[in-house]
C-alpha cells in the first residue's frame, strides 16, 4: 500500500523563531549574509560562486529579464534569465547583463565621422547612452578618432545635418589608456583628470573598451554588488531538459555564470541525463542547479547526479496550482527542513556541501528568515520581485490601484510546453492543462528600496537569535510550532487601526 507520512506537511506560517542570547557585538550592521551558491568541499576550499545576499529571482517570463538581473546583482543577489524563449533571445539578455557592468565596457553606441547629429540623437534615443566613441568605420573596435557627448551639441540649436566630425572632441584632445591598464589604474586616471569616460585603445589606436566614472560611483554606492572576476555583474540562465544540447553553448558563450534546469519536478531521469550531458561536454567548471524536489530522496538523487545546488519546493508558489490540479507537492517548511537534514548527512558522508534553494511558499518577509533558519542557503522568489519597477511586466491601474502583471510558467500565457510535455516533439501551442495562473500583484516601487527593507528585517532577526552569519543562524536558531490562535495573536488585534477609518480626525487647526 502507499507510504503515509506520520506528520503533517507544514508551511512557514506555522512556525516562529524563539529569541536567543545576543552579545553587544551582535548588531544588524555586523551581519554577513554571504552564502554559497554552488557545491564545494568546506574542508578544502571556498565555493567558486557565492551570493552576497541570499536572494535570487525566479526563472519566469514575468520576473527575470536583463533589467531585473542588473538591478538584483547590484544589490548582491542574482537573477536566472527565463529559458521559455528562443535561445538567441535568452543569450542576448545574458550578454546585456555582462556588458552592462564590465568595468571595461564594450561600447555599443558608436559613430563614424560622416554620421550626422540626427544619427547621434537617434542613437541616444535608442540606447540611452550620451557618450559615443567615434571610430573610422563606426565599429566598436575601429581606429579611435574622437568622442561625442551631450555637451558637444544642442538638439534645439545644432542643425541635424551637421557632421559628427565637426562636433566631436578629436582624438588628440582625449585622455586614453593603453590596453594593459588595470581597472584600478583606469579609475585613478578618471579621478585625477576629472573625466566621465576613459577610452582604452590597443597599440594601433583601435578602440577596445570604455571605462565610465558612473560605474566607479555605482560600486561605491552598492558595496555588495555581485561581480565576477572581470568586475561584471553575475547572471544565471534557465534551461530545460529538452533543448539543452542546443541552448547551453550559446548561453555560456554569452557569459552565463551558472545554469539552472527549470522543471516542475526534478526527481526524474530527464534531469539526471541533462546534468550528465552538461558535465560531460563542458566539464565540472560549468555549474548547474537542478530541481524541484521536496524530500530527502529527491535531494540525494540530484546531489548524486552532480547538481551544484538543489531547488526545494513544489506547489507552494503564489501563482502555482500544481497541488490543486495534480495533488502533488508538500508544505514548504517541512520540505526545507527534511532536505536540509539530508544535505547535512550528505556533507558528513562525502565531504561535499550542496547548497539548497527554497523556492516558493514565501508570503511575508519573516518567512525568508524562517527558510534560512530551517537550512536554506538562499531563496528563489517570483511574486516578491514581480512587484517592482525592474520586472519586465506592465504596470496597470486596477480599480484605482497600481498593479503589475504576473503569470506562471505553467500558465497558458507562458505556453512553456517544454516543462510539461513528455516529448520535445509536442506542439508548442499545446498545453493539456495549466499548473499556474495569470494574475496581478500590488505594485511596490523600486527593487532597491524594498530589498533594503527586507534585508534589514533579516539582519535584525538574526541578531535577536545571536547570529552574525547564516551558518551560525542555522546552528543557533530555536524554532517553535504555533497554534492557529497564536497566528492571530501575532498580528494587530482588538484595536481599531487608524488607516481603516475615515472618521478619526488626526490634525487640528488652532
Is 256 in contact with 250 (CB distance < 8 Å)? Answer: no
The DSSP code sequence of 299-327 is HHHHHHHT-SEEEE-SS-STTB-HHHHH-
Is 409 in contact with 418 (CB distance < 8 Å)? Answer: no
- The pLDDT score that the predictor gives to residue 500 is 63
Model pLDDT for residues 413-427, shown as the tens digit of each residue: 656 545 444 444 444
Is 330 a known active-site residue? no
* 226 closest CA partner among 77, 99, 100, 448: 77
- The pLDDT score that the predictor gives to residue 439 is 81
Is 430 in contact with 417 (CB distance < 8 Å)? Answer: yes
- The DSSP call for residue 209 is E
**Among residues 39, 383, 419, 459, which one is catalytic?**
419
Residues 176 and 112: their CA atoms lie apart, in Å, by: 18
- The pLDDT score that the predictor gives to residue 267 is 96
**Residue 72 grid coordinates:** 538584483
What totals of helices (H) and strands (E) does the chain contain, helices first?
A: 15, 21
In angstroms, the Cα distances linking 257 to 6, 243, 252, 266, 357 are: 41, 19, 7, 21, 17
- The pLDDT score that the predictor gives to residue 456 is 98
Model pLDDT for residues 217-267, shown as the tens digit of each residue: 777 788 999 999 888 899 999 999 999 999 999 999 999 999 999 988 999
- The pLDDT score that the predictor gives to residue 434 is 67
Give the CA diameter of the chain.
85
Q: With a cut of 50, list the residues of the chain below it in pLDDT.
A: 417, 419-429, 503-510
Cα pseudo-dihedral 237, 241, 246, 251, rounded to 10: 10
* 131 closest CA partner among 107, 149, 104: 149
Total-model pTM:
0.81
- The pLDDT score that the predictor gives to residue 412 is 64
Is 415 a known active-site residue? no
Beta strand residue intervals within 222-281, DSSP E: 236-239, 258-261
**Among residues 26, 320, 357, 465, which one is catalytic?**
320
Q: At which residue does the C-alpha cell 538543489 appear?
A: 310
Residues 463 and 402: their CA atoms lie apart, in Å, by: 35
- The pLDDT score that the predictor gives to residue 428 is 45
Q: At which residue does the C-alpha cell 579621478 appear?
A: 191
Q: At which residue does the C-alpha cell 523563531 appear?
A: 17
Is 64 in contact with 97 (CB distance < 8 Å)? Answer: no
Amino acid at each position: 500500500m502507499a507510504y503515509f507520512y506520520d506528520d503533517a506537511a507544514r508551511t512557514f506560517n506555522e512556525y516562529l523563531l524563539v529569541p536567543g542570547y545576543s552579545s553587544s557585538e551582535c548588531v544588524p550592521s555586523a551581519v554577513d549574509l554571504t552564502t554559497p551558491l554552488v557545491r564545494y568541499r568546506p574542508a578544502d576550499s571556498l565555493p567558486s560562486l557565492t551570493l552576497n545576499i541570499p536572494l535570487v529571482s525566479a526563472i519566469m517570463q514575468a520576473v527575470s529579464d536583463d533589467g531585473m538581473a542588473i538591478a538584483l546583482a547590484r544589490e548582491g543577489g542574482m537573477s536566472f534569465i527565463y529559458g521559455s524563449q528562443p535561445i538567441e533571445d535568452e543569450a542576448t539578455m545574458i550578454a546585456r547583463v555582462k556588458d552592462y557592468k564590465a568595468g571595461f565596457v564594450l561600447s555599443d553606441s558608436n559613430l563614424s565621422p560622416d554620421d550626422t547629429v540626427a544619427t547621434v540623437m537617434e542613437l541616444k534615443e535608442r540606447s540611452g547612452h550620451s557618450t559615443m566613441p567615434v571610430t573610422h568605420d563606426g565599429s566598436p573596435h575601429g581606429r579611435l578618432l574622437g568622442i561625442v557627448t551631450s555637451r558637444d551639441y544642442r538638439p534645439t540649436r545644432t542643425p541635424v545635418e551637421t557632421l559628427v566630425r565637426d562636433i566631436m572632441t578629436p582624438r588628440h584632445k582625449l585622455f586614453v589608456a593603453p590596453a594593459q591598464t588595470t581597472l584600478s589604474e583606469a579609475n585613478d586616471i578618471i579621478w585625477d583628470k576629472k573625466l566621465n569616460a576613459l577610452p582604452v585603445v590597443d597599440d594601433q589606436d583601435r578602440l577596445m573598451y570604455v571605462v565610465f566614472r558612473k560605474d566607479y560611483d555605482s560600486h561605491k554606492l552598492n558595496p555588495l554588488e555581485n561581480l565576477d572576476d572581470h568586475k561584471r555583474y553575475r547572471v544565471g540562465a534557465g534551461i530545460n531538459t529538452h533543448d539543452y544540447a542546443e541552448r547551453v553553448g550559446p548561453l555560456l558563450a554569452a557569459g552565463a555564470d551558472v545554469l539552472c534546469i527549470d522543471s516542475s519536478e526534478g526527481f526524474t531521469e530527464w534531469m539526471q541525463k541533462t546534468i550528465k550531458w552538461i558535465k560531460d561536454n563542458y566539464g565540472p567548471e560549468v555549474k548547474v542547479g537542478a530541481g524541484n524536489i521536496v524530500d530527502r530522496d529527491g535531494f540525494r538523487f540530484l546531489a548524486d547526479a552532480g547538481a551544484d545546488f538543489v531547488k526545494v519546493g513544489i506547489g507552494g508558489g503564489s501563482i502555482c496550482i500544481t497541488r490543486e490540479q495534480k495533488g502533488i507537492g508538500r508544505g514548504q517548511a517541512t520540505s526545507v527542513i527534511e532536505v536540509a537534514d539530508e544535505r547535512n548527512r550528505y556533507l558528513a558522508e562525502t565531504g561535499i556541501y550542496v547548497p539548497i534553494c527554497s523556492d516558493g511558499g514565501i508570503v511575508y518577509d519573516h518567512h525568508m528568515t524562517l527558510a534560512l533558519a530551517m537550512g536554506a542557503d538562499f531563496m528563489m522568489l517570483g511574486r516578491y520581485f514581480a512587484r517592482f519597477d525592474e520586472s519586465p511586466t506592465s504596470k496597470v491601474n486596477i480599480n484605482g490601484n497600481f498593479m503589475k502583471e504576473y503569470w506562471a510558467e505553467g500558465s497558458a500565457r507562458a505556453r512553456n510546453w517544454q516543462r510539461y510535455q513528455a516529448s520535445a516533439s509536442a506542439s508548442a501551442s499545446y498545453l493539456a492543462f495549466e499548473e499556474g495562473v495569470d494574475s496581478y500583484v500590488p505594485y511596490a516601487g523600486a527593487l532597491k528600496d524594498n530589498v533594503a527593507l527586507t534585508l534589514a528585517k533579516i539582519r535584525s532577526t538574526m541578531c535577536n537569535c545571536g547570529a552574525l552569519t547564516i551558518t551560525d543562524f542555522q546552528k543557533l536558531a530555536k524554532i517553535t510550532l504555533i497554534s492557529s490562535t497564536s497566528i492571530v495573536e501575532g498580528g494587530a488585534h482588538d484595536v481599531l487601526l487608524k488607516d481603516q477609518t475615515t472618521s478619526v480626525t488626526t490634525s487640528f487647526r488652532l
